[in-house]
Amino acid sequence: MSPRAVNFKAGNVIYMKGFRNSYVYILKSGVVSLNYQDIQTGQEDQDQIRTGELFGVKSALGSYPTDEQALALVDSTVLAFTVEEFEQVASSNTRIILKMLKVYSNQLRRIHRQVQNLLSTGESKKPEEGLFRIGLYYHNNQKFRQSTVSFERYLIHYPNGRFASEAREKIIYGKSMFANPDSSGEETGSLSPEIYSYSEAMEYYESGEFRKALKLFSRIHESQSKDSVESALRIGICLFRLGRSSDATIRLTDFIKKNGKSYFVPEALYYIGECYKSNRDTEKAISFYQKALSMSDPSQEVYVLITETLQKLEGGRK
């Protein structure tokens, strides 16, 4: 088996766009143009292949339709390899593969960024802030094992960073949620019993099993453990989710009275608003959402929830 040398006259098409190409080509002599449509702008674009360069690799290796047309601009000779032949050649010259890996890695990152831009959720954050926000996400969602690691990574890379002191505080808090944070034992083995039942309650809560979650949160709340306050809030939310709006309003109002400075007050206010909304009292619901919004921080999960709810309600009124 050996590659075939194929001659193309100027203006000849080596392969068409959308063609199932099974060859990897190396330009031996001449000039070849790869003509393609830029997926972002829709404009026709072209890359010129120089002698010794490869083309057709992605479509041949992946058995995908080609996304470009290969055209000989002058009389050219190309070496056509089957995938098997190409792999044999590349195996004895891994520098080729490494070079291609870098090119593809760049292409992949570029298209990934374009996709993220379209999704409008991939706002390009500065890495420092982005990394801190990963920790914050886990922290706000009580996934303290993950938040602690994320903040520790933040401090490794940005020891004097903008969020360093906050990251340190949150690491201390996150670690306090573990009986033995540095234990190399099994993950649940190092947790105290009430933490374990709180995370179990949260699992039920997050999976929508509110009846089971309510039972566990009630138990934790009565135990007066350190999760007691948050459990009081969750009890109110579980009651709302179970359709018991008036009981939920009572519990959530009580939570705010007793924990006026808690981080979770905006969430409690939001769910009181939800109770009113479910009773079709939109005016009162909006006033609670607005109060919740004014007290919440944009980094809190509930902030987005409130903003979206308000937007929908206000949109519906127009």
Partner 1 sequence: MNLDLSVFERFAVTYKPGDIIFCEYEPGDSFYLIQSGKVKIVKIFGNIEKTVDILHPGEFFGEMALLEEAPRSATIIADDHCKLLEFNKANFEILMKGNPQMALKLLRLFTKRIFDQKRRFMILTLDDLDAKIMDVFIMLYEIGNYISEDVESSGKVVYSHSIDDIAHWAGISPDECQPVLNNFSIQRKIELDHDKIIVKNINEFRRQVDSKRRRQESVEE
- Which residues contribute to the site for partner 1 (CB under 8 A)? 39-40, 42, 57-58, 61-62, 64, 67, 87, 90-92, 94-95, 97-98, 100-102, 104-109, 111-112, 114-115, 118-119, 121-122, 125, 127-128, 130-131, 133-135, 137, 140-141, 145-146, 149-150, 153, 157, 186-187, 301, 304-305
- Shortest separation between residue 250's beta carbon and partner 1, angstroms: 28
Nearer to partner 1 by Cβ, of 80 and 306: the residue is: 306
- Shortest separation between residue 172's beta carbon and partner 1, angstroms: 18
- Rounded to whole angstroms, the Cα distance separating 236 from 233 reads 5
Nearer to partner 1 by Cβ, of 8 and 81: the residue is: 81
Nearer to partner 1 by Cβ, of 137 and 173: the residue is: 137
- Shortest separation between residue 186's beta carbon and partner 1, angstroms: 7
- Shortest separation between residue 77's beta carbon and partner 1, angstroms: 25
Residue among 133, 180, 173 at smallest CA distance from 153: 133
Nearer to partner 1 by Cβ, of 90 and 179: the residue is: 90
DSSP string, the chain: --PEEEEE-TT-EEE-TT-B--EEEEEEES-EEEEEE-TTT--EEEEEEPTT-EESHHHHHHTPBPSEEEEESSSEEEEEEEHHHHHHHHHT-HHHHHHHHHHHHHHHHHHHHHHHHHHT------HHHHHHHHHHHHHHTT-HHHHHHHHHHHHHH-TT-TTHHHHHHHHHHHHHTSS-TT--S-TGGGS-HHHHHHHHHHHHHHTT-HHHHHHHHHHHHHHT-TTHHHHHHHHHHHHHHTT-HHHHHHHHHHHHHHTTT-TTHHHHHHHHHHHHHHTT-HHHHHHHHHHHHHH--TTSHHHHHHHHHHHHHHHHH-
- Shortest separation between residue 73's beta carbon and partner 1, angstroms: 25
- Rounded to whole angstroms, the Cα distance separating 243 from 212 reads 15
- Shortest separation between residue 12's beta carbon and partner 1, angstroms: 26
- Shortest separation between residue 293's beta carbon and partner 1, angstroms: 15
Nearer to partner 1 by Cβ, of 1 and 257: the residue is: 1
CA 111 to chain centre: 16
Nearer to partner 1 by Cβ, of 8 and 144: the residue is: 144
Nearer to partner 1 by Cβ, of 290 and 307: the residue is: 307
C-alpha separations of 238 from 80, 175, 242, 256, 318 in Å: 66, 27, 6, 16, 32
Nearer to partner 1 by Cβ, of 268 and 305: the residue is: 305
Instruction: Give me the residue label for tokens 């934790």.
Output: 220
Nearer to partner 1 by Cβ, of 128 and 254: the residue is: 128
- Shortest separation between residue 216's beta carbon and partner 1, angstroms: 20
- Shortest separation between residue 266's beta carbon and partner 1, angstroms: 13
